[in-house]
């Protein structure tokens, strides 16, 4: 799966960066329209992490700004999204 360096979501251009994140695999900064992914993780983990952070970004675009985030839902949705994209994505 090819992870984009940027994408549009709800009319907003989001950037995707690889960065040293120390304890986290990925982070989604809604106010900055930025997804960061740990730069030193295996490609399979990188793709799954991107999908997880993308789900957070989609939830934000849908107006779901609640805290704390439902990480169980986000993880489950991201797993199925990743599986689909691996089978049918470009």
Asked if residue 35 is part of any domain, the answer here is yes
Asked if residue 81 is part of any domain, the answer here is yes
Mean pLDDT of 66-84: 87
Asked if residue 40 is part of any domain, the answer here is yes
pLDDT (0 to 100) of residue 66: 64
Read off the CATH number of the domain in which 61 is found.
3.30.2010
Domain count, the chain: 1
Q: Which domain holds residue 49?
A: 6-88
Residue 33's Cβ-side half-sphere holds a number of Cα atoms within 13 Å equal to 12
Asked if residue 1 is part of any domain, the answer here is no
Asked if residue 67 is part of any domain, the answer here is yes
Asked if residue 55 is part of any domain, the answer here is yes
DSSP percent split of the chain into helix, strand, coil, nearest 5: 45, 25, 30
Mean pLDDT of 21-43: 93
pLDDT (0 to 100) of residue 89: 74
Residue 27 has pLDDT above 70, yes or no: yes
Per the prediction, the chain carries an average pLDDT of: 91
């Amino acid at each position: 799966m090819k992870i984009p360096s940027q994408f549009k979501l709800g009319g907003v251009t989001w950037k995707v960066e690889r960065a040293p994140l120390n304890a986290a695999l990925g982070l989604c900064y809604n106010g900055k329209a930025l997804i960061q992914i740990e730069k030193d993780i295996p490609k399979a983990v990188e793709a799954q992490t991107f999908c997880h952070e993308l789900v957070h970004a989609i939830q934000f675009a849908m107006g779901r700004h609640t805290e704390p985030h439902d990480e169980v839902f986000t993880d489950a949705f991201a797993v199925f999204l990743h599986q689909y994209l691996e089978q049918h994505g470009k």
